[in-house]
Amino acid sequence: MFVEVKKIYRGKVDVRDYAIKDCLAKKQDLIITHGKENMTIPYKEIRKRGERINKERFKSKIYPDQYYTLISFPWKPSKPLTEEEYFKQNNLF
């Protein structure tokens, strides 16, 4: 599953908890992208490396009945996206 983040704060990126739950339910790796860099978190490590940074629940602007919390992961980019990964991420296939 691909998740795009807009900012890196103190060496960490924040992902919404429902994206994490989705990965766990589908047993998929989480691929976090920031610009042209990406980082892959294997399915087995998602539970280990995620740490709640905010117990506060935020209200979704798109879905008014949905709330979420943020989960933080250390930002360690692996490599730039390949052309295939870029197309897959942006649903251009």
Give the confidence band of 70 by pLDDT, cuts at 50, 70, 90: confident
- pTM, entire model: 0.72
Count the neighbouring beta carbons within 10 Å of the beta carbon of residue 18: 14
Q: Where are the extended beta strands (E) located within 35-84?
A: 37-41, 51-52, 58-59, 67-68, 70-74, 79-80
* 82 pLDDT higher than 80: no
Q: What is the CATH number of domain 2-81?
A: 2.40.240
State residue 58's pLDDT score.
87
For 20, other C-beta atoms within 10 Å of its C-beta total 21
Domain boundaries defined on the chain: 2-81
pLDDT of 16 over the 80 cut: yes
